[in-house]
């Protein structure tokens, strides 16, 4: 091919911005369209697993990541009463990172330094000639050789290619929040991921913002329908009631919270396809998953890097085939990760067993899920491309 492909990405979340960086690095023209008027400031801490961290570092973001992350020191498990549950033996070989979501988005935006058209809410996607046309809420249009829907759980692009993702409530809600580390005398020594499990619920905390803040995620049962959003406020006193009688650090952290946000947890089955013509999906738009394995953002990062390998040097007539190859490569893996995340949630919330029984079950479960970490999506995409050429 002689001229560069024009790629339009809908959504400037972790998935959309990572894909933008990966696609540009392989020579494509990329424009990102985002419905928010300016970069979103919502969200708390997330964990970037080794299978995704390796891609960001290979893209030259090593120094930038180290500036904003807290490197993981493994997983510490306890029962709700604080009894240690011996750690899993099958720990990942490469590091993962705990990051404040807003800082990660700022880092990606800074590294991207390309065009993000804020205030552009995509309302329709149509085939035109050899590409696709995006229409926005204000009537503006944009034609591109490839359209990528990175527009999250409630994706419009997904709808526009004929798909629906039916949610089933897991019957739990995630409370999220951040506490200033200095508010807790013991918290300066907190390292890695810390989880307390039992009684139908779990509580996770880990440091972010280079240890200045402690991020909490608390999964509790709920029969109410709740929004999936970073913006729905929760009640700190209700949260405290949910963990009454639990290990003292859990209660201390909740008492130190100024505010909390609630996110209803819904599961969705894998989609039958992701790509139609010159349009495809990535991230939560393609494979929304329950968050118990900390892989949602990680898989969205893998998607973008795989797509970049598969689209590099593609002629326009090859695009539908390359997007099918992308779907074939990614749908199987992300479906398995979705299933592993579902099982992880069930395990964390189960109250059964004493610490040694729980440790044994944890070991079994972690070794069954160990395949997720040592995976190189660029290598897999390269191998796939070579096998079809
Ligand atoms: C409680 C909880 C904890 C989690 N913890 C982790 C974790 O530890 N590790 C991990 O890897 N993942 C975690 N996740 C999952 C992770 O947050 C998501 O998987 C990830 O943010 C998905 O990124 P995305 O870019 O696909 O979608 P999003 O982050 O949702 O981004 C989509 C973007 O598209 C924009 N948009 C939407 N519609 C339109 C439109 N019509 N037009 C234009 N723009 C649009 C939105 O404004 C948004 O900016 C967690 C999720 C939850 C709920």
Q: Please write the tens of the pLDDT for every residue from 316-363.
A: 999 999 999 999 999 999 999 999 988 888 777 776 567 777 777 777
Q: Is the pLDDT of residue 130 over 80?
A: yes
Cα 245-346-355 angle, rounded to 5 deg: 55
Q: What is the pLDDT of residue 31?
A: 97
Distance between CA atoms of 239 and 255, rounded to whole angstroms? 10
Q: Is the pLDDT of residue 112 over 50?
A: yes
Nearest CA to ligand 1 atom 31: 13
What does the CA dihedral 225, 156, 315, 386 come to, rounded to 10 degrees? 10
> Which position has the token pair 């779907």?
327
Nearest to 304 by CA among 163, 148, 160, 157: 148
Return the minimum-mean-pLDDT range out of 64-73, 289-298, 317-326.
64-73
Q: Is the pLDDT of residue 88 over 80?
A: no
Backbone angles phi, psi at 213, to 5 degrees: -125, 150
Residue 261's DSSP bridge partners are 176, 233
What does the CA dihedral 374, 378, 381, 382 come to, rounded to 10 degrees? -120
Q: Which residue would you say has higher pLDDT here, 131 or 370? A: 131
β strands within the chain, DSSP E: 6-10, 29-33, 45-48, 70-71, 75-79, 84-85, 97-100, 116-117, 122-128, 131-136, 141-144, 146-149, 168-180, 193-198, 201-208, 213-221, 233-234, 260-267, 279-281
Nearest CA to ligand 1 atom 20: 297
Q: Is the pLDDT of residue 158 over 70?
A: yes
User: How many other C-beta atoms can be found within 10 angstroms of the C-beta atom of residue 199?
Assistant: 18
Residue 210 Cα to ligand 1 midpoint, Å, equals: 22
pTM: 0.93
User: How many other C-beta atoms can be found within 10 angstroms of the C-beta atom of residue 281?
Assistant: 30
Residue 302 Cα to ligand 1 midpoint, Å, equals: 14
Average confidence score pLDDT of the chain = 90
Mutate to test the pocket of ligand 1, among 193, 296, 344, 348 (most ligand atoms within 8 A of CB): 296
Exposed/middle/buried for residue 58 (C-beta within 10 Å: 0-12, 13-18, 19+): middle
Ligand 1 atom closest to residue 228's alpha carbon, by position in its atom list? 53
Mode of pairing for the β-strands spanning 29-33 and 116-117: parallel
Estimate the crossing angle of helix 319-349 against helix 296-311, to 10 degrees: 160
Ligand 1 atom closest to residue 283's alpha carbon, by position in its atom list? 26
Ligand 1 atom closest to residue 16's alpha carbon, by position in its atom list? 25
Nearest to 143 by CA among 155, 157, 127: 127
Is residue 300 within 8 Å of residue 150, measured between CB atoms? Answer: yes
Residue 158 Cα to ligand 1 midpoint, Å, equals: 15
Distance between CA atoms of 211 and 218, rounded to whole angstroms? 19
What is the pLDDT confidence band of residue 93, given thresholds at 50, 70 and 90? low
Is residue 20 within 8 Å of residue 114, measured between CB atoms? Answer: yes
Mutate to test the pocket of ligand 1, among 284, 287, 342 (most ligand atoms within 8 A of CB): 284
Nearest CA to ligand 1 atom 33: 11
> Residues 156-174: what's their mean pLDDT?
92
What does the CA dihedral 63, 64, 70, 72 come to, rounded to 10 degrees? -60
Cα 368-372-373 angle, rounded to 5 deg: 115
Tens-place pLDDT, residues 221-259:
988 777 777 778 899 999 999 999 999 999 999 999 999
Residues lining ligand 1, Cβ inside 6 A:
10-16, 33-36, 40, 46-47, 120-122, 150-152, 156, 174, 176, 217, 263, 283-284, 291, 294-298, 300
Residue 246 Cα to ligand 1 midpoint, Å, equals: 31
Nearest to 219 by CA among 197, 245, 235: 197
């Amino acid at each position: 091919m002689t001229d560069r492909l024009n790629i339009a990405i809908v959504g400037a979340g972790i998935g959309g911005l990572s894909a933008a960086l990966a696609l540009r690095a392989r020579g494509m023209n990329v424009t990102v369209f985002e419905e928010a008027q300016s970069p979103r400031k919502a969200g708390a801490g997330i964990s970037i697993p080794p299978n995704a961290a390796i891609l960001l570092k290979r893209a030259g973001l090593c120094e930038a990541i180290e500036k904003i992350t807290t490197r993981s020191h493994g997983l510490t498990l306890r029962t709700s009463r604080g009894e240690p549950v011996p750690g899993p033996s099958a720990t990942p070989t490469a590091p993962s990172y705990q990051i404040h979501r807003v800082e990660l988005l700022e880092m990606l935006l800074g590294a991207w330094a390309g065009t993000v058209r804020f205030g552009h809410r995509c309302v329709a996607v149509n085939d035109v000639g050899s590409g696709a046309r995006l229409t926005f809420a204000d009537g503006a249009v944009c034609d591109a050789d490839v359209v990528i829907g990175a527009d999250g759980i409630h994706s419009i692009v997904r709808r526009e290619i004929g798909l629906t993702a039916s949610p089933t409530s897991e019957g739990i809600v995630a409370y999220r929040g951040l506490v200033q580390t200095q508010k807790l005398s013991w918290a300066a020594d907190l390292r890695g991921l810390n989880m307390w499990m039992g009684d139908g619920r779990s509580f996770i905390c880990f440091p972010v913002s280079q240890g200045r803040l402690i991020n909490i995620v608390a999964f509790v049962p709920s029969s109410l329908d709740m929004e999936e959003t970073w913006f729905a406020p929760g009640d700190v006193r209700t949260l405290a009631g949910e963990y009454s009688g639990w290990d003292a650090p859990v209660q201390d952290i909740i008492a130190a919270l100024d505010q909390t946000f609630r996110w209803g947890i819904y599961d969705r089955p894998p989609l039958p396809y992701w790509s139609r013509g010159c349009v495809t999906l990535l991230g939560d738009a393609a494979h929304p998953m329950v968050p118990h394995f900390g892989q949602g953002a990680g898989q969205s990062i893998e998607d973008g890097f795989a797509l970049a390998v598969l689209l590099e040097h593609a002629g326009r007539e090859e695009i539908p085939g390359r997007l099918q190859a992308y779907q074939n490569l990614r749908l199987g893996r992300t479906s398995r990760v979705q299933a592993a995340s579902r099982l992880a949630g069930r395990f964390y919330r189960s109250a059964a067993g004493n610490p040694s029984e729980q440790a044994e079950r944890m070991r079994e479960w972690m070794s069954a899920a160990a395949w997720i970490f040592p995976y190189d999506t660029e290598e897999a995409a390269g191998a796939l491309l070579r096998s079809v050429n």
